[in-house]
Chains A and B, each alone.
Chain A
């Protein structure tokens, strides 16, 4: 089946009655979760996995695509109105979005954010569709050695780019890898680190870990910080139309930021936060007049919002093609797909391509729906932020407990969720990023399985690890990525040295 046929089939499946109800409902849920600070689409996805075990695969694609798209934009509303980022990537929007709100241009900022999100996501999806045929050929060149390098690259990338400390990021990734070794050894079937528990022979289930680290830990964090209303209200004002038209006026910036977002999204496990800040930095660097940035420049809203939403489309590429998550959200999405029998990789882009397009069109639909609703519901949605933290915290714990248990019907998963909730809270409190830990846990089996396979094939003379071009390309990318912070400062250091010498 050609890509166009699959795209048309996927489109028909999404935009038919009653299928369209699923992404609509999922988008609304994702909007509520993403709007409340501390909660995110990832929390919702982790909670939803356990409730959707028996569902038909098409509905899984419909709701998870919508969860991914629906959660993206809404976090920006809290960032603009209350200076609270609903998600990591929204923090970049906050830099210029909140000053705009304080100047009485909240509606303009929200309109601009909504339009940039919708247009950015559309460009991101177009890039994804254009790359799909290339990805299919690319996959054929991938074997255990390349997958091993990809796993290492994903681990290295996320540990470097997430959090302020490289050492902390790498330590967290190391711990995640160690946790992924729990269970039977893939070669000898020997139980490792199971403490004699048969329930741990299959390894740690990622869902209770997600629920612990994202839902319980986040609730603890918010409940400890305060018990009053989440935020104080800021009146909405300004011209909505001016905001909606702004990305079209700055179309060059919109396209550049969207391409940045989509490409960063394709790098395994980098995440939307990096995409948003990269796009913001690029907007500042490319502007002639930089004086307004940080004080309510509308370009400072366009760039991160477009990149953030374009990232969703891009991050689906490594997820669908290689089974490697491109962000936190796609890490949970990957877990959901695997649990429902979808095999990321060649099968996903050949036999299951129409289903992949159901996911893509569902994401597209939810991105647009969220932006339209975001504009229409800006004022009433602001009222949700008046809910007190200590009122909704126990409810999230209740859903997390039920979600953790219902993945496999084992009480040990509830214990795991609580342990990771507490661990996640203290790790986050002291600046240890949880994302490398979770990603390493997800990538661990891929890393270990392909390491043994690649080394075995190399030793048997079936492949040569040192003559495979993709391995070298990935290795070079990894080295450049690590060396980049030092290389970037080299010219300024050289100038400083020359000045001192003179």
Chain B
């Protein structure tokens, strides 16, 4: 039996509802009742949708996907999240945008570097210094500044 992608999303919602019911079971009755009821209804609805999709699968999208591969994009965002945690916003974000422009958008190194420099100036010069908004420094910088 093959599981289609739309069923995976449906199953994920079903499991999320089950997880909420399981977590609610560890709470007092007063705090658990409403979440448990809502989770049970959501679970039933997700199961019904799953059954409907099994009986009559939704039409496959015919639009040709010519952009950045979905898996690559998902991994890029996961990588960016790790980079943000380690290196902080002011370093990770300009590098991410510059590299994305260079490797995925086909921009020249000069344009990519210029974009990174502009973003660095915006994040550090405008947001951090001018607007005095503290951006996340990253664990690396925090460790080095000890």
Contact = CB atoms under 8 A, between A and B. Distances in A.
Interface of A: 51, 165, 167-168, 170-171, 174-175, 177-178, 181, 185, 187-188, 190, 192-193, 216, 220, 222-228, 388-391, 393-395, 397-398, 401-402, 405-406, 409, 411, 414-415, 418, 421-422, 426-427, 429-432, 448, 451
Contacts of B80: 397, 401
A224 B42 contact: no
B84 A401 contact: yes
A175 B42 contact: yes
A227 B105 contact: yes
B34 to A, nearest CB: 6
Interface residues of B, number: 58
A288 B15 CA distance: 53
B101 A227 contact: no
B133 A406 contact: yes
Interface string B28-61: 1011001100110110011011001000001000
Contact of B93 (A188, A216, A402): A402
A368 B119 CA distance: 34
Contacts of B85: 411
A420 B31 CA distance: 25
Contact of A171 (B46, B74, B93, B135): B46
Looking at chain B's contact residues, the main secondary structure is helix
Contacts, number: 152
B30 A187 contact: yes
B67 A171 contact: no
B27 interface: yes
8 contacts: A178-B16, A178-B39, A187-B30, A190-B28, A223-B73, A226-B66, A390-B100, A405-B136
Given A220-B73, A225-B66, A393-B100, A402 B48 contact: no
A133 to B, nearest CB: 37
B45 A174 contact: yes
Contact of A451 (B34, B65, B131): B34
Contacts of A389: 67
Contact of B27 (A175, A192, A390): A192
Given A188-B30, A227-B105, A418-B77, A177 B93 contact: no
B35 A170 contact: no
Contact of A395 (B81, B97, B127): B97
Contacts of B131: 51
- The secondary structure that dominates the A interface is helix
A263 to B, nearest CB: 30
Contacts of B101: 391, 394
B6 A430 contact: yes
A192 B49 contact: no
Nearest to A448: B34
Contacts of A427: 9
A178 B38 contact: yes
Contacts of B17: 174-175, 178
A181 B73 CA distance: 31
A192 B33 CA distance: 12
B117 interface: no
B141 to A, nearest CB: 13
A339 to B, nearest CB: 15
Contact of A426 (B9, B30, B66, B78): B9
A403 to B, nearest CB: 11
B23 A193 contact: yes
Contact of B35 (A193, A227, A394, A432): A193
Contacts of B69: 224
A8 B95 CA distance: 50
B77 A422 contact: yes
A409 B31 CA distance: 29
